[in-house]
Structure 1
Amino acid sequence: MEITSFAFLLFLGIIAIIYYILPQKVRWVALLSANIIFIFLNNSIWADIIMTVMMSIAFLSGIFLDRFSQINARKKIMIIGVVIEAGCLFVLKEGIFLNHFTSPFGLEIPMDILRTFAPLGVSYFSLTLISYILEAYWKTQPVQKNFFKFVTYSSFFPTLVSGPIMKYTECQETIISSHNLRYQNISFGAQRILWGFFKKLVVSERLAVLVNYIYEDPITYHGLYLWMAAAAFTLQLYCDFSGCIDIIMGASQLFGITLPENFDVPFSAKTTAEFWRRWHITLGAWLKSYIFYPIIKADLVQKIGISAKKCFGKKTGKKIPSWIGLCFTWALIGLWHGGSFNYIWGVGIWFGIIIIMSEAFEPVLKKITLLLSINTECFSWNLFQNIRTFIIFIIGLAAFRAGSWTNTKIVYVNALSEFNPWIFWDGSFLKMGLTQLDYNIITISLLTIIISGIIKIQKNIDVREWIAKQNLFFRWIIWIFLFVIVLVYGKYGEGYSAADFIYKGF
């Protein structure tokens, strides 16, 4: 059941009606039922069993952690629970990576079998369970002692598609608690779902045609073709992923549930580090809490930091533990996205190197800007920083989209082999599956998304709230117009369902 399908919208509407009809104390049961139905429709029976086992292990880990007070016993319980959950994720998700090590011995894990056993959104779901076990171990919040309420929280059906990754301390209460029927929740929820449909069906699906055309045969294309494809894929991925999140957040708001945001106008970022604080926010927050901070606080890393201060001075030595943590964290981010090296490099190691290098050379760069009398507060400098950050990002995503490390090398070499600006006016891009009307729609749609981002930054307000403050006629014109645009210009697949979301594969 795709979340851009009519079937999902009908399912969502029925569950919302049942939710508000039920007495407040048992409204969470409607969500539990929705979770079970949604999982059953999207998983194989084997994936259902594995998902149930994973939830049971996390739940029992929390129960035992709550009962035992001895430090060693609690630590063993935590380690066992986390290792099992992480092990399930690694085996089910990283079969390609494992095959690199097992294939020389004649042992390969059949990918078809892994796909059968892997639950929907296993990457998001397993991180949510690991978060619960660690929070129970740290005693940040009382554990959930009702298994069915735990299932309601941990498998909340909209989040299984593409996140956001939920921390127990942030999301358990809002999902389990009963919420009253409010007009604002229904209207804002529906509006955000519509905005997500617009991003996905009108923009992302069109950009996908161009991106697929070039990346299906990267050997043939050179120079600005590949730079254009990388930029188009970046925008496609943003509209696809953030559009999916908009639908998920809107669906949740229909029930009065507020989930953590996953995007915060990322293309307004001036540095790579800031970009990743605005892009896939919940993954970054999860890794910072459960990977980065534990690594830099580890005794061995602290000892390395002390030694580094003696060798390189206090300023540089102080950063060494942080850089060690960044190396591990970014390698894991790449591995989380996929087992092939193009993922590990493109959305992992590449960004780790950029962030570490920018921190290491920050004093030198500051001196250069002072020496050249560069005004770092003016619009042109901010624009330069935005463009520089965007270019760094698309270089990494070029590897992400290439599909393999072999194709990644071809894309990188060919992108630098020719300078061919004439392709922008000789009609080359009109031969790649899109018409002039398609390009006009993409341009106007992207400008609309940019304007919504500017409103959010300058007004420090959600665009829906800004629109809600306008006159009734203006409000209705905007939302009716957007609905018509999605209806008329949305690119639908077979059965009026869009292609899979890119991040659904994770």
Structure 2
Amino acid sequence: MGITSFYFIIFYAVVLILYYLLPKKCQWMVLLAASIVYYLLSGNVLLILYPLFAVTVCSIGIWMITEAKENGQRFREAGKNPEKRRKAALLFVILANVAVLFLLKYINFGINTVNGIASWFGAENGIISGLNWLVPLGISYYSLTLIGYAADVYFGIAQSQSNPAKLALYGLFFPTMVSGPILRYREDGEQFYKEHPFDYKQMTRGMQRILWGFFKTLVISERMAVIVNTVYGNYDKYTGFYIWIGTVAFAFQLYTNFSGGMDIALGISQTFGLKLPENFDRPFFAKNISEYWRRWHITLGVWMKEYIFYPVLRSSFLTALSKKMRKKLGKKRGKQITTFAGMFILWFAVGIWHGGDWKYIIGSGLLHWLYIVSGELLDPWFKRVMGKLHINGKSRGMDVFRVIRTFFLVNIGFVFFRASSVGDAFKMLGGALRLGNMRAALSGGLLTLGLDGIEFVIGAVSLLLLLAVSLLQRKGPVRDRIAAKALPLRWLLWYALLFYVILLGYYGPGYSAAEFIYQGF
């Protein structure tokens, strides 16, 4: 049941009414019941066993961690080491969740890799048959959320939740199951169990954000998808400039699909009186790759840094390597080497999180590692060149150049992300170098990509509207500025957007309200 479908709207309306009509002490129970029902309605009903297993494992692990901490003296008197018990409990939570995640999402990655190697030696059909597993909705989101919570309890930076039902609500809150965000209990966990009186302002602001999410997904993303599918489905025909058009269209398709889904999830949460973490901050305005990832999928980046990057840097292996490199190469260069090694593991994890395929590991992971490392190493050289050329590195023109450069580099990664395979990605990048058809494309060829003239204009105008709002957001939330306007103007603006979505939302061939791109991750 996709979150842009009519059935979901009815489901959400019923939940919202019950949430505020029933006694406030029952509000968290309403959300838990709604989350379970949503999960049951979104696919094979047996798939709910996976998230329930994850919650059970996390609940047991947290209980063991808490018990060992609170009864440390008793354990020591019995000849047991409470710290070892706590570490074992955390390891139990991590390994159980990662094992299920691997078996459901990444087993075919290993099989495909083995078959790929075998094909180099003449095995035409590989040597291992692929396995088709049923992957539950939101497995990557609830797995990381629960693992992070158990780690926070272990390190004493989050309170333990002893009620398994409340833990289930935190891990399986239904608006976050499609595309996140990844939650952190110490920041947003306790609010799920508090009483939330009806708040007109929160209700209207939440509805407004939901509407903006629908605008992004139905008006923009679905139109961009038509262009993307045309180009990437026949890249032998649509070469050169068309590949760049298709890739830029995919950048906006992915962004509006993912951030639009996030707007809907955060808007729904706001109508319940809940504040979830932001996941986007106008990423295509970033001036470098590091900044881009601080703006794109923010909660994933934060999770990866806290639970993978920093622990890896503190590991005994990298600590010893750091000391050795500092002695040989000096303090600065030695630190860089170990940091880059830790970043390699980080970006490999980011890539494989997106999917069990080398195209994700390259396009969303290692390629960005290469960008960042190259930028760090070449930065002194760039500064010297700019100084010799008397270029002001802080000028507005240089900022614009950096934004365009970053967007270009990100789009190269998107080619790998969207292509059917790594091989197809390299073929498309090679074909993209042949720009002789640019004039033909701009003189009418763009209208051969699946959208007629009217549809193309609607898509272009909608992107300009998105750009205008993004520029206005530099000075704060646009909803706050609209709220300061006179009542008639406020209603006019929001009703105009509502009818814009209803009338111009793309419901053409192949449209499926149930398909969010990041739902698969």
- From 491, 498, 504, the equivalent of 2:513 is 498
Q: State whether structure 2 residue 385 is matched by structure 1 residue 358.
A: no
Deviations 1:196-233 (A, max 9, x none): 00000100100110110010112222211111111110
Contact 1:153 1:176 in 2 (8 A): no
Partner of residue 13, structure 1: 13
Over aligned residues, Cα RMSD in angstroms? 1.6
Deviations 1:257-284 (A, max 9, x none): 1000000011111001000100000000
Contact 2:149 2:158 in 1 (8 A): no
Partner of residue 462, structure 1: 477
Q: Matched residues in 1 for 2:60 and 2:198: separation? A: 34
Q: Matched residues in 2 for 1:353 and 1:419: separation? A: 30
Partner of residue 416, structure 1: 433
Partner of residue 124, structure 1: 141
- From 273, 276, 298, the equivalent of 1:259 is 276
Q: Matched residues in 2 for 1:155 and 1:484: separation? A: 33
Partner of residue 121, structure 2: none
Q: Which amino acid aligns with 1:88?
A: V
Q: Which amino acid aligns with 2:84?
A: N
Farther off after superposition, 392-401 or 333-342? 333-342
Farther off after superposition, 255-264 or 12-21? 12-21
Q: Which amino acid aligns with 1:110?
A: L
Q: Which amino acid aligns with 1:498?
A: A
Q: How big is the shift at 1:497?
A: 5.4
Specify whether residues 498 and 45 from structure 1 end up closer, same or farther in structure 2 by C-alpha distance, changes over 3 A only: closer
Q: State whether structure 2 residue 127 is matched by structure 1 residue 110.
A: no
Contact 1:4 1:497 in 2 (8 A): no
Q: State whether structure 2 residue 432 is matched by structure 1 residue 383.
A: no
Q: Which amino acid aligns with 1:489?
A: L
Q: How big is the shift at 1:46?
A: 2.9
SS at match of 2:189: helix
Farther off after superposition, 446-455 or 488-497? 488-497
SS at match of 1:94: helix
TM-score by length of structure 1 reads: 0.96
Partner of residue 488, structure 1: 503
Q: Which amino acid aligns with 2:89?
A: I
Q: Which amino acid aligns with 2:316?
A: D
Q: State whether structure 2 residue 87 is matched by structure 1 residue 71.
A: no
- From 209, 228, 231, the equivalent of 1:211 is 228
Contact 2:64 2:85 in 1 (8 A): no
Q: Matched residues in 2 for 1:190 and 1:42: separation? A: 23
Q: Matched residues in 1 for 2:438 and 2:512: separation? A: 37
Farther off after superposition, 361-370 or 491-500? 491-500
Partner of residue 123, structure 2: none
TM-score by length of structure 2 reads: 0.93
Q: Which amino acid aligns with 1:19?
A: Y
Q: Matched residues in 1 for 2:175 and 2:514: separation? A: 17
Contact 2:39 2:45 in 1 (8 A): no
Contact 2:211 2:264 in 1 (8 A): yes
Specify whether residues 239 and 295 from structure 1 end up closer, same or farther in structure 2 by C-alpha distance, changes over 3 A only: same
Q: Matched residues in 1 for 2:112 and 2:468: separation? A: 46
Q: Which amino acid aligns with 2:480?
A: E
Farther off after superposition, 250-259 or 304-313? 304-313
Q: Matched residues in 1 for 2:178 and 2:187: separation? A: 19
Q: State whether structure 2 residue 261 is matched by structure 1 residue 249.
A: no
Q: Matched residues in 1 for 2:355 and 2:98: separation? A: 15
Counting only pairs closer than 5 Å after superposition, residues 73-88 of structure 1 correspond to structure 2 as 73-88=85-100
- From 443, 446, 459, the equivalent of 2:460 is 443
Q: How big is the shift at 1:102?
A: 6.0
Specify whether residues 496 and 24 from structure 1 end up closer, same or farther in structure 2 by C-alpha distance, changes over 3 A only: farther
SS at match of 1:158: helix
Q: Which amino acid aligns with 1:131?
A: G
Q: How big is the shift at 1:392?
A: 0.3
* Structure 2: stretches of 5+ with no match in the other structure: 70-81, 119-125
Q: Which amino acid aligns with 1:347?
A: S
Contact 2:112 2:130 in 1 (8 A): no
Farther off after superposition, 97-106 or 461-470? 97-106
Deviations 1:68-94 (A, max 9, x none): 131111111111210110111111111
Q: Matched residues in 1 for 2:239 and 2:35: separation? A: 47
Specify whether residues 58 and 498 from structure 1 end up closer, same or farther in structure 2 by C-alpha distance, changes over 3 A only: same
Counting only pairs closer than 5 Å after superposition, residues 284-363 of structure 1 correspond to structure 2 as 284-363=301-380
Identity %: 39
Contact 2:352 2:365 in 1 (8 A): yes
Q: Matched residues in 2 for 1:143 and 1:427: separation? A: 61
Counting only pairs closer than 5 Å after superposition, residues 398-409 of structure 1 correspond to structure 2 as 398-409=415-426
Counting only pairs closer than 5 Å after superposition, residues 31-180 of structure 1 correspond to structure 2 as 31-69=31-69, 70-100=82-112, 106-111=127-132, 114=133, 116=134, 118-180=135-197
Q: Which amino acid aligns with 2:498?
A: F
